[in-house]
Amino acid sequence: MSNVKELLKEKLTAESYDRLMAVDNAKIHEFIADAIELTNPEAVFVCTDAAEDISHVREMAVKSGEEAPLETPGHTCHFDGIYDQARDRNATKYLVPKTETLSKALNQIEREEGLAEVRGLMKDSMKSRTLILRFLMLGPRDSVFSIPCVQITDSWYVAHSEDLLYRTAYDQFCKIRKDENVFCFLHSAGQLSEDMISVDVPNKRIYMDYTTDTIYSVNTQYGGNTMGLK
């Protein structure tokens, strides 16, 4: 994309744009701009490591109806759909270029065909919703063994759950090299019921593009299918 920064400046608030530009990495900027064009969100929330940002995610998980408060202060619960209770192996596939082959033990689909399918399902999927951007780390901060990951989701529940599973890493991303590779995860819960549960089960997809270290996940909320670092 040739107009990445222009698109980001148009779609983000001044505060969110400044937060994102503090992360000086071309792949991340292109990934986010592409996701915005594809999913067409109403708003974009760039989450930092600040306590108020983390609290906002938790509050929105309840306000949106994806989580419900329990009697114990600070505790909440979320229920996935009855057909969304585990990692979905049948809906999970590797995107494989025509010139490459993987083990027959792995579910796979031709890369261009799979991209067209999953991106088609994600088209305008965040309309009237907020695109939530998380910067996370698998492993300790400042370690050569750690894996930096960028997660985009329209589920406040997914964004909240990641605070329970991984280390926040916005400050680390602000130190990242312009050309450093990162893992990117794009998720949309898709069509939701009145109970805020993903309902388009036949169109659940978790497609892994290992050529670009990108995962696309749609029409699911279960953590194993949506939280990229898993």
Q: What is the CATH number of the domain that holds 217?
A: 3.40.449.10
Longest distance between any two alpha carbons in the chain, whole Å? 56
- Is residue 100, in this structure, part of any structural domain at all? yes
pLDDT at 86: 87
- Is residue 80, in this structure, part of any structural domain at all? no
Average pLDDT in the 15-30 region? Answer: 95
What is the C-alpha separation between 216 and 209, in angstroms, rounded?
Answer: 8
Q: Domain tally for the chain?
A: 1
The band of 228, judged by pLDDT with boundaries at 50, 70 and 90, is low
- Is residue 184, in this structure, part of any structural domain at all? yes
- Is residue 83, in this structure, part of any structural domain at all? no
- Is residue 79, in this structure, part of any structural domain at all? no
- Is residue 97, in this structure, part of any structural domain at all? yes
pLDDT at 230 over 70: no
pLDDT at 59: 96
Half-sphere exposure at residue 216, Cβ-oriented, CA atoms within 13 angstroms: 28
pLDDT digits (tens, 9 = 90+) for 117-129: 999 999 999 999 9
Of the candidates 188, 181, 213, 200, which has an alpha carbon nearest to the alpha carbon of residue 129? 188
pLDDT digits (tens, 9 = 90+) for 193-215: 999 999 999 999 999 999 999 99
pLDDT at 219 over 70: yes
Which range marks the domain in which residue 110 is found?
4-70+88-226
Amino acid at 145: F
Average pLDDT in the 75-92 region? Answer: 91
What is the C-alpha separation between 113 and 119, in angstroms, rounded?
Answer: 10
What is the C-alpha separation between 139 and 144, in angstroms, rounded?
Answer: 9
